[in-house]
Amino acid sequence: MIQENFIKLYEQSFRENWDLPCYTDYGEDESYSYGQVAQEIAKLHLLFKHCSLRRGDKIAVIGKNNSRWCIAYMATITYGAIVVPILQDFNPNDVHHIVTHSESVFLFTSDSIWDHLEEERLTGLRAVFSLSDFRCLHQRDGETINRFLKHLDDEMHETYPKGFRREDVQYTTLSNDKVMLLNYTSGTTGFSKGVMLTGNNLAGNVTFGIRTELLKKGDKVLSFLPLAHAYGCAFDFLTATAVGTHVTLLGKVPSPKILMKAFEEVKPNLIITVPLVIEKIYKNVIQPAINKRTMRWALSIPLLDGQIYGQIRKKLVDALGGRFKEIIIGGAAMNPEVEEFFHRIKFPFTIGYGMTECAPLISYAPWNEFVPTSSGRVLDIMEARIYKENPEAEIGEIQVRGENVMAGYYKNPEATKEVFTEDGWLRTGDLGKLDENNNLYIRGRSKTMILSSSGQNIFPEEIEARLNNLPFVLESLIIERNKKLVALVYADYEALDSLGLNQTENIKTIMDENLKNLNNSVASYEKVSQIQLYPNEFEKTPKRSIKRYLYNSIAED
């Protein structure tokens, strides 16, 4: 059991970091110090008390990253209630289901999301609050919440006659083995399950971040991954708030253009991201530069290449704000070509591995100890093993146990039983191997692996990574049809237009050439029979992984 009590970490942090900046909404005037956040939490606690909320009651939060999202989350857990963060990309049907299934009594939401929800389908809710100003958007008949909110300042004055001070920050005493968070997953297989995470699971991740000094007092981070997702939440928000870091919340879609501007302004000390963001920067900024004829010539000269790589590294570091100690990439597989290039130029990046069921971290190594092609070292508070049905096989399923592993799926004993082995290990569903230093190497998902007619294992993600590096391919998906591999490709029509190429005539020639080059670079059993153009971008999970299950039956001659 983790020694530090999860809730007390925040009681201590708000007291110690009282005057330091805590949350800022990027591009807006909204900014809070740690003391001001503690005061907002105290106001919400008075509201919860007025409504006789009990320990263990569920409070759902859905909306873009902003300060009030963080305050609602913090107020919930420090009161002893259970927070249910919902990804804002979920459609209204999913939101209705999650709010109902989790038995949430309160909902904090963006006004725009509330406009699309149907209150008659949310019969269990006692009240709904806006994430733009905490006003009450809806209350159940007979509730007196609106009246109470009108006099909230008087209530604060009555409760804290000398004003709200740092010694007034006193939170509930709740042991780490209690469930504090229900996180509904959005996987590539399409079913949403409520992951029950305890204070211990959350404290395991946060204290790891503190111990390894990922973030420190006075550091800055830019939070652009959805906070309702375990990965961004654990480090950009929970670890940051526990140590006195200043969090700037980017409430916009993180396009490379918006991100580069924000990095330049915020100058973060640590960058937490998913591969897609970094790969886009590589494709848009670096690739065009290194593909120029003079640059290719210069890189072929041994003495020049080191200097040029140094310049590229400096340009990239400066473009990302210039102050970060490392970039942690997780959430999905990294494109091998991009990873190899970053390693070659000695760029300070590392790749971690985790899953919502582990809140989320399983493995990580600091960038200067990171082994290329791995996903870091298994954490010291976790264990991993590789389960092989065939002892001769090179890889098997990664199974884990330890402090970060969830308590199970909420109201779903069948799914819980299925995901744990009889001897208590969590089945990750990922295939890979471990080396003698406990570094983890991941090959792909067991659910997406294709077995060739000759019995070979084919990992579609590996073929897709190669195909995505070929000209005019924005993204791709490898699926099986009639025992043959077919590539669905969403092409870069914008790039074609910018070169004055005719979309209809030229795209076929380009894709025929791509198919030839792809098949020259893969094993004989991995050869793709045809490239089929797909008209728009593939649907993705909030982690930016393609929802494969939607496309398995698509390819037809």
295 and 183 share one domain: no
| Final residue in a domain of this structure, among 231, 246, 261 | 246
Q: Which residues in 244-395 belong to E strands, given as ranges?
A: 246-249, 271-273, 327-329, 349-351, 353-354, 361-363, 382-387
Rounded distance, CA 495 to CA 213, Å? 42
The answer to whether the CB of 274 falls within 8 A of the CB of 331 is yes
| Final residue in a domain of this structure, among 443, 470, 496 | 443
370 and 283 share one domain: yes
165 and 304 share one domain: no
Rounded distance, CA 552 to CA 481, Å? 9
Q: Does a structural domain hold residue 517?
A: yes
Q: Would you list the DSSP string of 241-278?
A: HHHTPEEEE--S---HHHHHHHHHHH--SBEEE-HHHH
Q: Does a structural domain hold residue 459?
A: yes
Q: What are 180's two structure tokens?
A: 């504090």
219 and 74 share one domain: yes
Cβ-based burial of 342 (10 A; exposed 0-12, middle 13-18, buried ≥19): buried
514 and 391 share one domain: no
What residues make up the domain containing 342? 269-321+324-398+436-443
The span from the first CA to the last CA of the chain, in angstroms, equals: 56
Task: Output the pTM of the full model.
Answer: 0.86
292 and 379 share one domain: yes
239 and 157 share one domain: yes
Q: Would you list the DSSP string of 191-234?
A: ---EEEEEHHHHHHHHHHHHHTTSS-TT-EEEE-S-TTSHHHII
pLDDT tens for the 557 residues of the chain, in order: 888 999 999 999 999 999 999 999 999 989 999 999 999 999 999 999 999 999 999 999 999 999 999 999 999 999 999 999 999 988 898 899 999 999 999 999 999 999 999 999 999 999 999 999 999 999 998 999 999 999 999 999 999 999 999 999 999 999 999 999 999 986 544 557 999 999 999 999 999 999 999 999 999 999 999 999 999 999 999 999 999 999 999 999 888 889 999 999 999 999 999 888 888 888 877 888 788 887 888 888 887 888 888 989 998 999 899 999 999 999 878 888 899 999 999 999 999 999 999 999 999 999 999 999 999 999 999 999 999 988 888 899 999 999 999 999 999 999 999 999 999 999 999 999 999 999 999 987 777 878 776 667 788 888 998 899 898 999 999 998 888 899 999 998 888 888 887 777 788 899 999 999 999 988 888 999 999 999 989 988 766 778 888 887 665 54
335 and 225 share one domain: no
Helices 67-79, 34-50: inter-axial angle, 10-degree rounding: 60
306 and 361 share one domain: yes
How many helices (H) and strands (E) the chain has is answered by 20, 26
Rounded distance, CA 91 to CA 155, Å? 38
Rounded distance, CA 300 to CA 129, Å? 61
In the numeric block, the tokens 């991993």 are attached to 384
78 and 217 share one domain: yes
CATH of the domain at 508: 3.30.300.30
Q: Does a structural domain hold residue 164?
A: yes
Count of domains forming the chain: 3
193 and 157 share one domain: yes
37 and 149 share one domain: yes
Q: Does a structural domain hold residue 431?
A: no
Q: 524 vs 452, 520, 534, CA distance in Å?
A: 11, 9, 25
Say which amino acid occupies 1: M
* Helix intervals (H) in 111-179: 111-114, 145-150, 152-159
Q: Does a structural domain hold residue 297?
A: yes
Q: Would you list the DSSP string of 400-420?
A: EEETT---EETT-HHHHHHHB
What is the Cα 527 distance to its own chain's centre? 32
Q: Does a structural domain hold residue 202?
A: yes
Q: Does a structural domain hold residue 29?
A: yes
| Final residue in a domain of this structure, among 425, 443, 461 | 443
Q: Does a structural domain hold residue 419?
A: no
CATH of the domain at 129: 3.40.50.980
